[in-house]
Amino acid sequence: MKDFTELMKQAQELQTKMAGLQEELETMEVEGTAGGGLVSVRLSAKGEMRGVKIDPSLIKPEESEILEDLIVAAHAEARRRAEQAMKDKMQELTGGMPLPPGLGF
């Protein structure tokens, strides 16, 4: 029974660490760029869009389609970086140990 008690204690500690990680991911930001830096998108590590920057040279009515494509590309890059940041933090937290279903993100 001692092993079970120790296992439950470790599970509670992991759950506490996971809650802290959730909070950290809310404040962590990643950025994706497109068009050689002409468009950038900032996201939280959980994927919430926090900001968009567009170089003034792109704000021309005849180039709106290019601008739209660059925003999509910058967002996709930022999203990939956010997912990688989350994976890195999870690996750091668990030491590479797989989590049981329901304990991940």
Q: Residue 46 belongs to a domain with what CATH number?
A: 3.30.1310.10
The answer to whether residue 24 sits within a structural domain is: no
Whether 12 is covered by a domain: the verdict is no
pLDDT of amino acid 103: 56
Residue 95: strand, helix, or coil: coil
Evaluate whether residue 68 is within a structural domain.
yes
More confident residue, 96 or 75: 75
Q: What percent of the chain has pLDDT over 90?
A: 2
| Domain contains 25 | no
**Rounded CA gap, 83 and 77, in Å?**
10
Residue 75 lies in a domain: yes
d(CA 35, CA 32): 11
Position 19 in a domain: no
Report if residue 82 sits inside a domain. yes
- Residue range(s) defining the domain that contains residue 51: 31-95
Number of domains in the chain: 1
Which pLDDT does position 98 carry in this prediction? 67
**Residue 10 dihedral angles phi and psi, to the nearest 5°:** -65, -40
